[in-house]
C-alpha cells in the first residue's frame, strides 16, 4: 500500500466536496481531509448520518465542515443549481470534488436484472455524477489547482458476470472521466482521474460478499495516503488516469 507522510497543513485553505460522505470511504476521506486543513462539504442522503459526521469533525476541526443532504435517486436539475449557488455564496471556489456515492444494486444475470433497480442505480451512480459535475465545474474552474476524482471499481474496467448495473455504471464513470479529462487538459487547471479503491472493509463490501471475513480487507482509513496525495498539489501532473489504490505509485503514473 502507498505510504505518504502528508504534512498536517497539506490541504490548508482548500475546499473539497465529498459525495457519499456519511459512511465508509467517504466518511474516512471527510475526516482525513479536514484534519489536513481542508474545509469539507459533505453530501449524502441521510441527514442524521451527515450530522453525526459533522459533529465528529467539528469537535476536532471547528469550522471546517459543511453538510448538504441530497438524495441522488430523486434529485433534479434545480437541486444541483441550488447546491452550486449555495456553495458559491459560502466558499466561492471549489478545490476538489470526490465522487464516492454509489449503489451496489442486484447481483443478477442481465437477463433477469430488475428494470426498476437498473434505472435507480444508473440514476445514482451515473446521472447524478454527470449532473453534479456539470453544476460544479464553474466553481472548480475558479480554483487555481482543482481535483475531480471519480471512484471506480475493478468490475468497471473488466466486465464480470452477475455484477449487472453496478459494473456497467462504473464503465460509464470511466468514460465520463476520460471525456472530461480530454476536454479540460488544455483549457483548465482541473485534474481529472478515477481511482479504484479495491476491496475495502465497508458496508457495500459486506453486502457484495456476505460470506467473506471483513478482517481480510483493508480499512478505509488505510487508503487515505492515496486520497490525500491525489487531492494535493503533488498530483498536479496526474490527469486522465485510471488508478488503483492497491498499487498506486506516483513515480510510475503517466503525466498529462
Q: For the ranges 83-92, 125-134, 141-150, 247-256, which has the lowest average pLDDT?
A: 247-256
Q: Which residues contact 2 (CB under 8 A, 6 or more apart)?
A: 225, 226, 229, 245, 248, 249
Residue pair 53/22 in contact by the 8 Å Cβ criterion: yes
187: left (phi over 0), alpha (psi -120 to 50) or beta: alpha
Residue pair 17/136 in contact by the 8 Å Cβ criterion: yes
Q: Which of 168, 26, 153, 173 is nearest to 101 (CA)?
A: 26
Distance separating the N- and C-terminal Cα atoms of the chain = 24
Side by side, the strands of the sheet bearing 191-196 are 65-69, 39-44, 15-19, 96-99, 147-151, 191-196, 242-244
Q: What is the tens place of the pLDDT at every residue in 165-200? A: 999 999 999 999 999 999 999 999 999 999 999 755
What 3-state DSSP class applies to 108? coil
Q: How confident is the model at residue 6 (pLDDT cuts 50, 70, 90)?
A: confident
What 3-state DSSP class applies to 110? helix
Q: How far is CA 131 from the centre of its chain?
A: 14
Q: For the ranges 3-17, 68-82, 206-220, 229-243, which has the lowest average pLDDT?
A: 206-220
Q: Packing angle between helix 24-35 and helix 47-60, nearest 10 degrees?
A: 30
Please state, in angstroms and as integers, the Cα–Cα distance from residue 182 to each residue in 44, 128, 187, 241, following that order. Answer: 29, 21, 10, 11
Q: Mean pLDDT over all residues of the chain?
A: 91
Which one of the listed residues 166, 209, 227, 229 is annotated catalytic? 166
pLDDT at site 92? 85
Provide the residue ranges of all domains of the chain, joining segments of one domain with +: 15-244
Q: What is the pTM of this model?
A: 0.93
Q: What is the tens place of the pLDDT at every residue in 126-143? A: 999 999 999 999 999 999
What phi and psi values does residue 57 have, to the nearest 5 degrees?
-75, -40
The DSSP letter of residue 255 is: B
Q: How far is CA 188 from the centre of its chain?
A: 20
Kindly tell me if the per-residue pLDDT of 3 is higher than 90.
no
Indicate the Cα dihedral angle 110, 115, 117, 118, nearest 10°: 60
52, containing H or E segment: helix 47-60
Active-site residue flag, 209: no
Q: For the ranges 38-52, 157-171, 202-216, 222-236, which has the lowest average pLDDT?
A: 202-216
CATH class of 15-244: alpha beta
Residue pair 249/202 in contact by the 8 Å Cβ criterion: no
Residue pair 11/36 in contact by the 8 Å Cβ criterion: yes
Calpha distance 211→32 (Å, rounded): 30
Kindly tell me if the per-residue pLDDT of 247 is higher than 70.
yes
Please state, in angstroms and as integers, the Cα–Cα distance from residue 91 to each residue in 6, 17, 42, 139, following that order. Answer: 24, 11, 14, 9
Amino acid at each position: 500500500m502507498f505510504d505518504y507522510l502528508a504534512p498536517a497543513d497539506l490541504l490548508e485553505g482548500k475546499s473539497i466536496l465529498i459525495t457519499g460522505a456519511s459512511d465508509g470511504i467517504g466518511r474516512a476521506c471527510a475526516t482525513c481531509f479536514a484534519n489536513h486543513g481542508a474545509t469539507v462539504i459533505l453530501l449524502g442522503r441521510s441527514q442524521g448520518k451527515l450530522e453525526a459526521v459533522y459533529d465528529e469533525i467539528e469537535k476536532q476541526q471547528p469550522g471546517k465542515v459543511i453538510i448538504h443532504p441530497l438524495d441522488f435517486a430523486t434529485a433534479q436539475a434545480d437541486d444541483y443549481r441550488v447546491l452550486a449557488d449555495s456553495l458559491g455564496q459560502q466558499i466561492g471556489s471549489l478545490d476538489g470534488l470526490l465522487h464516492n456515492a454509489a449503489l451496489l444494486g442486484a447481483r443478477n444475470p442481465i437477463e433477469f436484472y430488475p428494470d426498476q433497480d437498473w434505472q435507480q442505480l444508473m440514476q445514482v451512480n451515473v446521472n447524478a455524477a454527470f449532473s453534479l459535475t456539470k453544476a460544479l465545474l464553474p466553481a472548480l474552474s475558479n480554483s487555481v489547482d482543482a481535483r475531480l476524482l471519480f471512484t471506480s471499481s475493478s468490475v468497471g474496467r473488466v466486465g464480470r458476470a452477475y455484477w449487472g448495473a453496478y459494473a456497467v455504471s462504473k464503465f460509464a464513470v470511466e468514460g465520463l472521466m476520460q471525456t472530461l479529462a480530454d476536454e479540460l487538459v488544455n483549457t483548465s487547471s482541473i485534474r481529472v482521474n478515477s481511482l479504484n479503491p479495491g476491496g475495502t472493509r465497508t458496508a457495500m463490501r459486506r453486502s457484495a460478499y456476505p460470506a467473506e471475513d471483513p478482517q481480510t480487507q483493508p480499512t478505509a482509513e488505510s487508503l487515505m495516503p492515496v486520497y490525500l496525495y491525489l487531492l494535493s498539489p503533488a498530483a498536479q501532473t496526474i490527469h486522465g488516469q485510471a488508478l488503483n489504490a492497491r498499487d498506486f505509485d506516483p513515480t510510475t503514473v503517466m503525466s498529462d
